[in-house]
Amino acid sequence: MSTVSCRSGEKKEENPLLDIEAWETPYRVPPFDRIRPEHYLPAFERAMAIHDAEIDAIVTNNDAPDFRNVIEAYDDAGRMLEEVALIFEMVSSADMTDQLMAVQENVMPRLAAHSDRIGMNAKLFEKVKSVYDQRLSLSLEPDQLRLVEKIYTEFVRSGALLGDADKARLQEINEALSLASVEFGRHLLAENDRYRLLLGSDELEGLPTGVRETAMQAAREIGEEGKYLFTLSQPSMIPLLTYSSRRDLREQIYKAYLRRGNQDDDLDNKRLIADFIRLRSEKARLLGFESYADYVLAEQMARTPRAAYELLDEIWTPALERAGQELAEMQPLLEADIPGATFESWDWWYYAEKLRKKNYALDQEMLRPYFSLENVRSGIFFLANRLYGITFRPVNVPLYNEECSAFEVLDADSSHLGVLYFDLFPRAGKGSGAWCGYFRAQSYRDGERVDPVVGIVCNFPRPAGSAPSLLTADDVETLFHEFGHALHFLFHDVKYRSLADVEGDFVELPSQIMENWAFEPEMLEQYATHYRTNDPIPADLVRKLRRSALFNQGFATTELVAAALSDLDIHSLTSAEGLDVNAFEHRVLAERRGLIPQIEPRYRYTYFRHIFDGGYSAGYYFYLWAELLDQDAFDCFRQSRDLFDRTIADRFRREVLERGGEADGMTLYRNFRGGEPSKIPMLRSRGLWTEPEPEPEEEIEMPDPDDF
């Protein structure tokens, strides 16, 4: 491990990222207590140099190319770089500082160039192609054959077949895209951080006590004693939109949310979006594809944009019709409050909640006391134990932020499976939304399993006053969802690192299937207890919750599908010439498809981080494609009449969760389910399926007795 001398003659603190193998932390988790922002850049530089040397060793090996000295060696290369990058990405997304942002801006284009040097290395590709061409005669195991084919395809998609001039241009494009991604994320983070709606005690009409206490605490933390702070983070904004009877305040905060990256100032993202589309479409053409959407989907389960559009279009029309019915039900409520007023997008949450109370006698605030964060997490641990036999034990390990917590995950036989971090509350410098990722991915080294270190990051309401963090029903589903990703990562048992990843439209299956258990009565019995009295959630409240399961699904589905369609539409462009981002969005959603003005897409382009800074470009449809699978898979549990059926869960773990990308997603799914998935459970779960009328029984003409 290297050290640097100071002028005083003393040695600077050693950089732990330069010698990862020497870590002596429990379970070899990252020593966050010793890692400093200034350690990342030297670690990236060292890791890239080591990776270059590993690649050079493959290229200069004079032995005949074979699976071991080319494919296996390539798969094993770059371990240090992967681990440094994973740690940096997880920490910077959850705890961004000016120092980390400077590292990100410095290193991202260098990483892109490093990747291109390898992907376009003609001598390396020649060796890979040699093994690929003889793959069918090498007596390879199925996972080895898939590894050869996947690595070969990866090189082709990285430009290995291009001429020198086109390779140089592709490198320029990739570097520019990496810089644009960093800038887009930086703008959005700054937009989120700079907006503050400070209210006085006379401006809180309609807000429940818990919402007020949380806002007061948030204001106190920024030195505004006696005020109430609301921000653009979902746990802060959504309660204001849902409960505030001050329509002007609802309008103010929602318009600020919608305007992010779209204010023609130094944080505007419209130019960046045009650059993304120009560069991505050019990249696709260089690689032989008509559009960037064609390029992306060629490696997904859908295979083509047409297949993705077919699914989205099948959902769009009934969802929009249902949303129109929901709007018609809410319009009289607005009319009663403000005669002659036009229903606007910032009215939807408020009047939907009023309608929920009217139709189901259910107030979301009635549920929150039963959904304390600790209880919900305990319920999820219970579910994982019932399904898979695993357990969770709190551990004392280094944390990158003092608000985090960590658990050792023990398999059914009490062996160590991995470590799981939780980072659950919003703060400055933290990305919005929720996600799950690795600090270290599962792999094998020298025949031994390297156990994963996984993190779940969310933005849930903070504890306020004497109350713990109390979740909404949506928050509960979010935690179940991200925990599903964590299980997928923890259960991975993949021999080759390059086979860990699955198709994008398959990756949400393990997460979304977990949501199905969240509000089942058998699950609610385990975790839904009142945070003060410890009384179980009343049966009547459970019935109301389940009866309202399809409530507002027209809105929820429409805003989701609108975002997926707008993503596919902009990435199906073959040129960005003359692209007006706002006009294009309006044209494809409102003019072409009839999106009503009272519903905004879940993400507008200028803050659509998933597709411009999050790996979901031309892939936001992934959620709905995977939902088709998750609903069909959960139907398997329903049909068994045991929602905790261990036999089915073990098969799901064995055929889906453990295998990563050792086979294509549909093959994995068929192996689990024993057949093709059905769309009906998904459409039914969203209230979009109309049961066909039973065909009338055919009348059977009885013979005349006189004929005998």
What DSSP string describes 564-586?
HHHHHHHHT-S--TT--HHHHHH
* Residue keyed to tokens 């600090």: 439
Question: Element (H or E) spanning 394, and its range?
Answer: strand 391-394
Task: Say which amino acid occupies 225.
Answer: E
* Residue keyed to tokens 């990405």: 89
* Residue keyed to tokens 């491990």: 1
The number of C-alpha atoms within 13 Å of 337 and in the hemisphere containing its C-beta is: 14
Cα 143 to chain centroid, rounded = 27
Q: Please say whether the beta carbons of 291 and 573 come within 8 A.
A: yes
Question: Element (H or E) spanning 197, and its range?
Answer: strand 197-199
The residues, ordered by sequence, that sit 6+ positions from 44 with a Cβ below 8 Å of its Cβ are 81, 84, 85, 88, 103, 107, 110, 111
Which one of 175, 282, 482, 662 is the catalytic residue? 482
Task: Say which amino acid occupies 419.
Answer: V
Question: Element (H or E) spanning 592, and its range?
Answer: none
The number of C-alpha atoms within 13 Å of 137 and in the hemisphere containing its C-beta is: 5
Q: Please say whether the beta carbons of 39 and 45 come within 8 A.
A: no
Cα–Cα distance, 316 to 313 (Å, whole number) = 5
DSSP state of 588: I
Token pair for 128: 């890979």
Question: Element (H or E) spanning 695, and its range?
Answer: none
- DSSP helix/strand/coil, 408: strand
Query: Does residue 482 have an active-site annotation?
Result: yes
Token pair for 108: 């991202």
The residues, ordered by sequence, that sit 6+ positions from 519 with a Cβ below 8 Å of its Cβ are 473, 476, 542, 545, 546, 549
Going 535 to 540 to 546 to 550, the CA torsion angle's sign is negative
Q: How many helices (H) and strands (E) does the chain have?
A: 28, 9
Active site residues: 482
